[in-house]
Amino acid sequence: CAPPHIQAIGMVGTGLQARLQLQCLKPVTDCREVWVWGRNEQALAAYRRDVEAEGFRVRVTQDAAELAAHCQLIVTTTPSREPILQAADIRPGTHITAVGADAPGKQELAT
């Protein structure tokens, strides 16, 4: 269960799933502060543009630890086969929804 008072949402990934997950969160939280992590600067810029148009304030980063330091709710949406988020970077009480780890061999979170 996500914390009752979310100050920032962290989105790991910049693709369609990252946009859809944020749309699903919009009616269930009043939080409009989003941190987004991605590897590609152009994809980060496009995500920021699109999500800001929907009323969110967006901060971009290529440092997953920075995202984790600011967010109480994190959604991972990448096809990564290597951990992006490290356990040591996650704050106590943080809710994580790992959407991208949807097949054998995919791993966004360190074990």
Tell me the pTM: 0.93
Domain extents in the chain: 9-98
List, run by run, the mean pLDDT of 10-residue segments along the chain (111 residues). Answer: 86 97 95 97 98 97 98 95 93 92 80 71
Can you name the CATH fold of 9-98? Rossmann fold (3.40.50)
User: CB burial class (10 A; 0-12, 13-18, 19+) of residue 91?
Assistant: exposed
Furthest C-alpha separation in the chain:
36
